[in-house]
């Protein structure tokens, strides 16, 4: 009986997890490459030192762990898509959740961060 209940509830659990963040869309390095052909809002959420060590062309650096992240990120247009990345994907995932709570409608988060970009 417990197994049957678990099997029946798994699809509902999966749906509820994806519905929690409808504005956040993980994208691949190839998908980001295509998006870069347009004028987009691109944000590197790593530290300034990491950013200075190499970043994607035209990216803004807004460190997700800085005290002024919320103030700086809100200078972007919330109605237009924002593409974000970090080193491996953890910090950008956190940044995407913060941005969604601040009213950003569409956030594209590079899966695997700049490491996946460099490996593409």
Q: In CATH, what number is assigned to the domain containing residue 102?
A: 3.40.250.10
Alpha carbon distance 45, 28 (integer Å): 17
- Residue 1 inside a domain? The answer is no
- Residue 105 inside a domain? The answer is yes
pLDDT digits (tens, 9 = 90+) for 87-104: 999 999 999 999 999 999
Mean pLDDT for the chain overall: 88
**What is residue 20's predicted lDDT score, i.e. its pLDDT?**
75
Residue whose C-alpha is closest to residue 92's, from 27, 38, 17: 27
- Residue 7 inside a domain? The answer is no
- Residue 30 inside a domain? The answer is yes
- Residue 8 inside a domain? The answer is no
**What is residue 37's predicted lDDT score, i.e. its pLDDT?**
93
**What is residue 79's predicted lDDT score, i.e. its pLDDT?**
95
Residue 64 has pLDDT above 80, yes or no: yes
Domain boundaries, position 93: 23-119
Say how many domains are in the chain: 1
Q: Which residue has the higher pLDDT, 78 or 5?
A: 78
pLDDT digits (tens, 9 = 90+) for 11-48: 554 444 445 778 999 999 999 999 999 999 999 999 99
């Amino acid at each position: 009986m417990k197994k049957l209940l678990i099997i029946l509830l798994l699809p509902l659990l999966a749906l509820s997890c994806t519905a929690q963040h409808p504005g956040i869309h993980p994208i691949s390095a190839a998908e980001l490459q295509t998006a870069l052909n347009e004028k987009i809002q691109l944000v590197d959420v790593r530290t300034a030192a990491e950013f200075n060590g190499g970043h994607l062309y035209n990216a803004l650096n807004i460190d997700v762990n800085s005290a002024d992240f919320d103030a700086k990120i809100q200078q972007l247009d919330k109605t237009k898509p924002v593409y974000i990345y970090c080193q491996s994907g953890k910090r950008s995932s956190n940044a995407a959740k913060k941005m969604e709570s601040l009213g950003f409608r569409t956030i594209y988060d590079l899966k695997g961060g700049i490491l996946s970009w460099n490996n593409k």
